[in-house]
Structure 1
Amino acid sequence: MTLSLKTESVRPALRVGPVSLVLRPIMVLVVAALAAAMLLLFCLDIATGESHIPLGRVIDVLTGGGTRAQRFIVLDSRLPRALTALVVGAALGLAGAITQSILHNPLAAPDMLGITAGASFGAVTVLVIGGGSGLAATLGGPLAALAGGLLTAAAIYLLAWGRSPTGDRGVTGMRLVLIGVGMNALLLSGISWLLTRASLQDAQRAQLWLNGSLNNADRSGLLPAAFALAVVVVVALGSARTLAALRLGADTTRSLGVRIQTQQAILIGAAVVGSSVATAVVGPVSFVALAAPQIARRVLRTPGEPLIGSALIGAILVVGADVASRSVFPADLPVGIVTAAFGGPFLLYLLVRMNRKATLS
């Protein structure tokens, strides 16, 4: 009698001191390809404008070459806009990956939960009351957007707090999503009311900002966006194991020693900071936080929403939308309109897919 043993292939591991990582060569290659695509679109975004600059010349200027006029156009005029698009897209992608991972719902993105609407309400309030100019609009707008996003998130979290079907007290994903959708509708109505109370000039300025425009992007807005992205990256990567545990369900997560409500509050807070500051800098850019994690999940074939992949896809979507708005369309459209045109059909796709899963189950 012969006993045969079957051995399963195990992914190779990389060990450096106390750190042990599982090597996934295909995933590394895909991430590298996404990073290369992002850098290519980034250079194309700099090359695109009223006066087109060849892509090779853009790379030459970025590496220290070029004439004085070319360095002025590339480094001083166009680079801040392209960097802002990249940072905002990465922040929104990460924020969406965090919220969707925690709430186990592909629709749980900051712009669907009312966080973006809360940030917009705060910024529009300052634009209307402060007259859209001066220190109130320059400094107060971003701060009001951050405060609006944080207050909205706190209100949604408190309203969603209750007892789950298993008897545990806390926040459940579906309850938070439903309350967030209602809060989003309420805040959008408040924004519309503010616009009716504003002067024509302030209403036009606010409406342009509400479309998510990169036309006024500069270094002053880039710095807070980069800081917010750094905060989200540090919290997200530092809590990567916690995020993986939160995807396993409440009982399994609790058995692993994770303090669910505390970790949820920290991670959602980081996502709110990232999405609120991104909204404060360029206005609400719709559907990026919703679509980026789901696209990254399908491209990388991961069981959950990948953090690095979501950030890369988010940057690709915003930078690509900025390139398309100035090269494909006859008019220079706000980037938020382009992302909304893409995100609407993608949202319908997610709803149809979720409906089919529910029917089959």
Structure 2
Amino acid sequence: MTTKTLRTGGTARGGGLSVRYEPRALLGVLGLLVLSLGAAVVLIGSGDFPLAPSDVVSTLLGNGTPVQEFAVMDLRLPRVLVGVFVGAALGIGGAVFQSISRNPLGSPDVIGFGQGSTVGALVVIILFQGSALAAAGGAIVGGLVTAVAIYLLAWKRGVHGYRLVLVGIGAAAMLTAVVHYLLTKGQLVDATRAVVWMTGSLDGRDWDQFWPLFGVSCVLLPLILGHGRALRMLEMGDDAAYALGVKVERTRIVLMGAAVLLVAVATAAAGPIVFVSLSAPQLARRLTRSPGPNLAASALMGTAVLLVADWVATHAFGERQLPVGVVTGVLGGCYLLWLLVSERRAGRV
């Protein structure tokens, strides 16, 4: 194998395969990976039975005491793994929608898909008193139905980015009203349970939530990453993508379907953890300073943001622990205001 390195990028060739890379983007991805792994180890070691990072690593490698193995493998590891895959799903889902809409506001939790999942779960909880598994199924169905409806409403000889965002914002407002209506119709116990679910939290997550999330992620994450080049072409516009050989509508439907399903499954596993899918892709772009969707960086940024926010939620307020959705909501709301001001100054909104 021979490698050619440039100041701003490089190309690795070998066996007839050529892969272009940018050093800053590669370093950014590696830095996010290290940050995510470090945050995961710290979270696993946190709690009423604290463990040093070295003890956590030793236990994960099978060298811990029985008490350490129970605390790590049975109680804390599944919770952290759910956070890892939920963050990755939200980050990469947001990157897909922002690239397809060519708009930084084109995020699932801004254009209605998150609200659709919430409505689906609340219908199961409040109207049918369904179990946690049934509520998860309702969240997935609600997200998919909402995505189809928004896509059809935004269709007019193709899906224009701003039209998709505007239709989605309108749908999000309507679905939010439906959420409030459902809460008023429920019994006190069901309404309380629904509000707890809506907050978005990793508390109590175990292997039952992890394995379905892991299975879906193993299928959809590689599918989306495999369409990274086509997605980058779509960012240049439909005509340019057609000229470069991209089957625009089929690619758009495949990517949107995969992203919606990822976000819906993540919502089913941990509740509607807001603003991660909005902020993670934009933060990833600012870190890598690389054009294109930055799918791998967005996924790792989503994981890092969610794990760090979870640590803040459980440690920054003394004995009073908060759901992680509260922290991401506050931080993401501030980021959204900054983004709206920036877009307005640039004349784009």
TM-score normalized by structure 2? 0.95
1:339 matches 2:339? no
What is the distance in 2 between the residues matched to 1:299 and 1:305? 13
What is the distance in 1 between the residues matched to 2:291 and 2:251? 20
Indicate the larger mover: 169-178 or 350-359.
350-359
- Name the counterpart of 2:3: none
- Name the counterpart of 1:59: 57
Q: 2:276 aligns with which of 263, 273, 288?
A: 288
What is the distance in 2 between the residues matched to 1:68 and 1:129? 44
- Name the counterpart of 1:130: 128
Read off the aligned partner of 1:154 and give its amino acid letter: V
Q: Larger C-alpha radius of gyration, 1 or 2?
A: 1
Q: 1:29 aligns with which of 2, 27, 30?
A: 27
Judge conservation of contact 1:48–1:326 (CA < 8 Å) in 2.
no
What is the aligned-residue RMSD (CA, Å)? Answer: 1.6
Q: 1:69 aligns with which of 67, 86, 105?
A: 67
Note the C-alpha offset of 1:231: 2.9
Read off the aligned partner of 1:248 and give its amino acid letter: M
1:45 matches 2:39? no
Read off the aligned partner of 1:194 and give its amino acid letter: L
Note the C-alpha offset of 1:61: 0.7
- Name the counterpart of 1:183: 171
1:119 matches 2:117? yes
Judge conservation of contact 1:94–1:232 (CA < 8 Å) in 2.
no
- Name the counterpart of 1:102: 100
SS of structure 2 residue aligned to 1:21? strand
Note the C-alpha offset of 1:223: 1.3
Indicate the larger mover: 192-201 or 85-94.
192-201
What is the distance in 1 between the residues matched to 2:7 and 2:40? 39
How is 1:202-241 mapped onto 2 (pairs within 5 angstroms)?
202-241=190-229
1:278 matches 2:276? no
How is 1:163-182 mapped onto 2 (pairs within 5 angstroms)?
169-182=157-170
Note the C-alpha offset of 1:238: 1.3
1:352 matches 2:346? no
SS of structure 2 residue aligned to 1:20? strand
Indicate the larger mover: 207-216 or 249-258.
249-258
1:15 matches 2:9? no
Q: 1:310 aligns with which of 274, 294, 298?
A: 298
Distance change in 2, residues 1:93/1:327 (3 Å): same
1:269 matches 2:257? yes
- Name the counterpart of 2:312: 324
Judge conservation of contact 2:95–2:277 (CA < 8 Å) in 1.
yes
Indicate the larger mover: 278-287 or 227-236.
227-236
- Name the counterpart of 1:166: none
- Name the counterpart of 1:151: 145
Judge conservation of contact 2:8–2:23 (CA < 8 Å) in 1.
no
Note the C-alpha offset of 1:83: 0.5
SS of structure 1 residue aligned to 2:148? helix
What is the distance in 2 between the residues matched to 1:10 and 1:126? 52
Read off the aligned partner of 2:153 and give its amino acid letter: L
TM-score normalized by structure 1? 0.92
Judge conservation of contact 1:232–1:270 (CA < 8 Å) in 2.
yes
Judge conservation of contact 1:159–1:179 (CA < 8 Å) in 2.
yes
What is the distance in 1 between the residues matched to 2:135 and 2:16? 46
Q: 1:83 aligns with which of 81, 84, 97?
A: 81
What is the distance in 2 between the residues matched to 1:257 and 1:30? 30
Question: What's the % identity of the aligned pairs?
Answer: 41
SS of structure 2 residue aligned to 1:110? coil
Note the C-alpha offset of 1:316: 0.5
Judge conservation of contact 2:228–2:293 (CA < 8 Å) in 1.
no
Q: Which runs of 4+ in 1 moved over 3 A?
A: 8-12
SS of structure 2 residue aligned to 1:111? coil
Note the C-alpha offset of 1:59: 1.4
Stretches of structure 2 that go unaligned for 5 or more consecutive residues are 1-5
What is the distance in 2 between the residues matched to 1:182 and 1:19? 46
Note the C-alpha offset of 1:244: 1.1
SS of structure 1 residue aligned to 2:346? helix
Distance change in 2, residues 1:55/1:258 (3 Å): same
Give CA deviations for 1:39-95 in whole Å, capped at 9, x if unaligned: 000011111112222222111111111110110001100111100011100000000
Note the C-alpha offset of 1:10: 7.8
Stretches of structure 1 that go unaligned for 5 or more consecutive residues are 1-7, 163-168
Note the C-alpha offset of 1:12: 3.3
Judge conservation of contact 1:231–1:270 (CA < 8 Å) in 2.
no
Judge conservation of contact 2:25–2:290 (CA < 8 Å) in 1.
no
SS of structure 1 residue aligned to 2:105? coil
Give CA deviations for 1:183-203 in whole Å, capped at 9, x if unaligned: 111111111111111111111
SS of structure 2 residue aligned to 1:45? helix
